[in-house]
Structures are given as structure tokens and as C-alpha cells.
């Protein structure tokens, strides 16, 4: 799978993101877009390896060519998973679409959700309208970054709108030079308690919390791991996201490594080769230390490929800022 990074534009301002700040400080142009023609060239090269793509940004609903892009993906029989905050008015192409058509075209949505106080009434009305239309083809995503926050509002919304009963759960990770909020490694134990507590509440409401990349096995006790499995979520201690491909067909490993080891996607003859090129580029810039902890290189779980040693973006932090003990902002 690959993600198409369509636009930097976003008006949501999640504290764990700050994409535009990163972009500005790296000298990039906030208004640049991945063009439909670039996507066409990409599919000409990699389509056999791309039964589906993720559409992200920025905010895909602010991408001005969404109509044309979805038509191209449909014509090429490529499914689309759209990552959105769903707080903007529906783009015209979605205004015309029913959930049944979305299903037939293999389009679904992952909606990044915050607490009610993070939405204006207008933004929440847009979200409400989106859910009323697309709930059957939508699931929520949630990023752990406030270890005191309740997650009950997610479960309430799933019940209220009939959303899919699975939540894609991430942990806020540092973005290179990003100045974003993230969970410091010193707080991973508290984060594990938090996830176990939230996953238990979710399970009691027949909702599964799945783990995105960046979690590490040793943040949990064996008992917690057993409990999480009983709650139904798959354990995941990998560092291996889908490749992101953005404007100019530049590719990068994943969002936190947005500025590290960019590669021209068209220099690869296959997606596999592109991923290898990106891994090599990241290693060249961040070194090949094998994990976020000194003990990773002798860890049996690492040796048996059960934990990949956490998020590589911590390597850039360790070099650049003093080690945080609290959530950073
Ligand atoms: S470096 Fe690895 S763990 Fe971190 S976001 Fe990228 S893929 Fe995920
Ligand atoms: S590989 Fe590193 S982060 Fe993962 S469990 Fe072992 S010591 Fe912990």
C-alpha cells in the first residue's frame, strides 16, 4: 500500500501534527499539490502493486481535484482509504456519492477525532453531516497524546451514528523539527496503562482498538498484553508504515520522517524497490541504531521480529533536543 499525500492544506490544527509549521520551516510551499497527472504516472508505474491507496494530507477534503482523482482511481480499479477530519463541507464529489456507491468503488474513510471542545459549532455540524451520510463506510482514528483524556466520546459517537466498531489507535510521535506534541519515551509506561484502560472500556462496548505503528512491546507488562488481546485488538510493535508519495512524486517513509531521506518515486521500478530506497535513505540520515532503547540491540523480541524497537523519529529527537519527561508541546 502507498499513501498519496495530496495537499499540505489543513485547517484543523491537531497539536500532534503541525505539518504546515514543518513545511514552512523546511522552505516548502504550503500551496503545492500532488497533481492528478502525477498520480496517473504513478499508477502507470506501480499499479499492479497498488490495489488500494490511502489519500491524506493535510486535509483531502481541501484538495481541489478530488473529483478527478477519484474518477481516475475508479477507472483503474484502485480502492481509496481517505484519512480526514471531516470538519469541512463535503466536497462536491462526495456530496453526490452514497455509501453504497462508496462501497462499490472500494472507498472508505478513517476519521481523526478530537474531543467536542476542539470543534466550533460549524465544524461539528460538518462532522455530523458527514457521519449521517458515510457512517457505514467510516471508522475512527484516535491518537494518544493526552494521558488524562477520556475516550468515551468516541464510543458514544460510534453508537450514535452506527460507525464501524473499530478504532485505529496511534501514539503521538515526534516529527523531525516539528515542534509538535508527542508522548516522551519516559511516559510510555503511563501510555500503556492509558491504552489498556481505554481498550477495556471499548471492549465492554463491543469496540476494538487496533494499534498503529510506534508502540513498543516493553511498554506493556505480560498481563497487559494478554488483556489487550482479550479485548480483541491485534498487537503491533512494528515500525513500517505505508510509503507516502506527495507533490512532485517525492516519496518519504512516513509522516514523522517527512523531511528525512526523500526519494523520487519514479526512480524505483517497483514499490518494493522504493521502500528499500527509503529505508536506505533513512538509515543514511539517522544511522542504523536498531531501536529507541539501549537494550534493543540485545532484545530477544527484536531478534524474533516481535518488536521493531519503536519509532525511528525518536532518533532525530535524541540528537536534537534534550530528553523530555513530559508531553512536549
Ligand atoms: S518511523 Fe516507523 S514507527 Fe515511526 S511513524 Fe514512521 S513507520 Fe511509524
Ligand atoms: S526491541 Fe527495544 S523497544 Fe522493543 S521490546 Fe525490545 S527493548 Fe523494548
Mean pLDDT value of segment 228-250: 91
Please write the tens of the pLDDT for every residue from 254-275: 888 887 888 999 999 999 999 9
Ligand nearest to the CA of 282: 1
Pocket of ligand 1 (CB under 6 A): 173, 213-214, 239-241, 253-254, 256-257, 311-313
pLDDT at 72: 98
Beta pairing partners, 107: 80
Give the distance (Å) from ligand 1 centre to CA of residue 208. Answer: 22
pLDDT at 189: 96
pLDDT at 318: 58
In sequence order, the 6+-apart residues with CB closer than 8 A to the CB of 89 are 61, 126
Which has more confidence, 158 or 260? 158
Give the distance (Å) from ligand 2 centre to CA of residue 188. Answer: 12
Q: Quickly tell me which residue has 541504531 as its cell.
A: 289
Q: Which of 145, 182, 188, 253 to mutate to test the pocket of ligand 1 (most atoms within 8 A of CB)?
A: 253
Give the distance (Å) from ligand 1 centre to CA of residue 314. Answer: 9
Q: Nearest CA to 216 among 281, 279, 146, 299?
A: 299
pLDDT at 320: 38
In sequence order, the 6+-apart residues with CB closer than 8 A to the CB of 229 are 235
Q: Which of 215, 237, 240 to mutate to test the pocket of ligand 1 (most atoms within 8 A of CB)?
A: 240
Please write the tens of the pLDDT for every residue from 1-49: 899 999 988 888 777 776 656 666 656 677 889 999 999 999 999 988 9
- Quote the mean pLDDT of the chain: 89
Q: Which atom of ligand 2 is nearest to the CA of 296?
A: 2
In sequence order, the 6+-apart residues with CB closer than 8 A to the CB of 74 are 105
Q: Which atom of ligand 2 is nearest to the CA of 310?
A: 3
Give the distance (Å) from ligand 1 centre to CA of residue 281. Answer: 14
DSSP string, 184-208: -GGGHHHHHHHHHHHHHHHHHTT-E
Residue 328 pLDDT > 60, yes or no? Answer: no
Residue 109 pLDDT > 90, yes or no? Answer: yes
Q: Which of 54, 241, 307 to mutate to test the pocket of ligand 1 (most atoms within 8 A of CB)?
A: 241
Residue 113 pLDDT > 80, yes or no? Answer: yes
Which amino acid residue places its CA nearest to atom 8 of ligand 2?
218
Give the distance (Å) from ligand 2 centre to CA of residue 185. Answer: 12
pLDDT at 321: 33
Ligand nearest to the CA of 243: 1
pLDDT at 260: 81
Ligand nearest to the CA of 258: 1
Q: Is 219 in the pocket of ligand 2 (CB under 6 A)?
A: no
DSSP string, 253-305: S-GGGTTSS-EEGGG-SSHHHHHHHHHHHHHHHH----SSSGGGGG-HHHHTT
Q: How far, rounded to the nearest angstrom, does the alpha carbon of residue 289 sit from its chain's CA centroid?
A: 24
Please write the tens of the pLDDT for every residue from 270-327: 999 999 999 898 888 887 777 899 899 899 999 999 999 999 888 766 543 333 322 3
pLDDT at 183: 94
Residue 77 pLDDT > 90, yes or no? Answer: yes
Domains of the chain, start order? 2-287 (3.20.20)
pLDDT band at 171 (very low <50, low <70, confident <90, very high): very high
Cα(248)–Cα(286) distance, integer angstroms: 24
Q: Is 299 in the pocket of ligand 2 (CB under 6 A)?
A: yes
Which amino acid residue places its CA nearest to atom 4 of ligand 2?
309
Contact 141, 111 (CB under 8 A): yes
Give the distance (Å) from ligand 2 centre to CA of residue 309. Answer: 5
Beta pairing partners, 143: 170
Give the distance (Å) from ligand 1 centre to CA of residue 240. Answer: 6
Residue 91 pLDDT > 50, yes or no? Answer: yes
Amino acid at each position: 500500500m502507498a499513501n498519496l499525500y495530496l495537499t499540505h492544506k489543513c485547517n484543523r490544527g491537531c497539536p500532534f501534527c503541525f505539518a504546515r509549521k514543518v513545511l514552512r520551516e523546511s522552505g516548502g510551499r504550503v500551496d503545492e499539490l500532488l497533481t492528478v497527472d502525477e498520480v496517473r504516472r504513478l499508477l502507470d508505474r506501480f499499479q499492479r502493486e497498488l490495489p488500494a491507496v490511502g489519500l491524506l494530507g493535510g486535509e483531502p477534503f481541501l484538495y481541489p481535484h478530488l473529483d478527478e482523482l477519484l474518477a481516475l482511481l475508479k477507472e483503474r480499479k484502485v480502492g481509496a482509504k481517505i484519512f480526514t477530519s471531516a470538519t469541512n463541507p463535503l466536497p462536491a464529489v462526495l456530496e453526490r456519492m452514497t455509501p453504497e456507491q462508496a462501497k462499490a468503488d472500494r472507498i472508505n474513510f478513517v476519521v481523526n477525532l478530537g474531543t467536542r471542545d476542539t470543534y466550533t459549532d460549524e465544524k461539528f455540524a460538518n462532522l455530523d453531516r458527514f457521519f449521517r451520510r458515510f457512517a457505514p463506510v467510516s471508522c475512527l482514528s484516535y491518537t494518544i497524546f493526552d494521558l488524562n483524556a477520556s475516550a468515551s466520546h468516541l464510543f458514544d459517537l460510534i453508537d450514535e451514528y452506527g460507525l464501524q466498531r473499530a478504532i485505529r489507535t496511534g501514539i503521538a510521535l515526534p516529527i523531525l523539527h516539528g515542534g509538535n506534541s508527542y508522548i516522551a519515551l519516559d511516559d510510555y509506561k503511563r501510555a500503556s496503562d492509558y491504552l489498556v484502560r481505554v481498550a477495556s472500556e471499548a471492549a465492554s462496548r463491543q469496540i476494538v482498538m487496533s494499534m498503529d505503528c510506534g508502540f513498543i512491546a516493553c511498554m506493556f507488562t505480560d498481563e497487559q498484553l494478554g488483556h489487550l488481546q482479550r479485548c480483541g485488538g491485534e498487537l503491533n510493535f512494528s515500525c513500517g508504515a505505508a510509503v507516502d508519495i506527495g507533490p512532485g512524486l517525492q516519496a518519504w517513509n512516513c509522516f514523522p520522517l517527512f523531511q528525512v531521506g526523500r526519494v523520487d518515486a519514479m526512480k524505483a521500478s517497483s514499490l518494493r524497490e522504493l521502500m528499500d530506497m527509503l529505508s536506505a535513505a533513512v538509515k543514511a540520515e539517522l544511522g542504523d541504531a536498531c531501536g529507541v532503547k539501549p537494550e534493543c540491540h540485545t532484545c530477544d523480541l527484536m531478534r524474533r521480529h516481535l518488536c521493531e524497537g519503536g519509532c525511528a523519529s525518536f532518533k532525530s529527537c535524541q540528537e536534537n533536543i534534550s530528553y523530555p519527561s513530559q508531553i512536549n508541546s
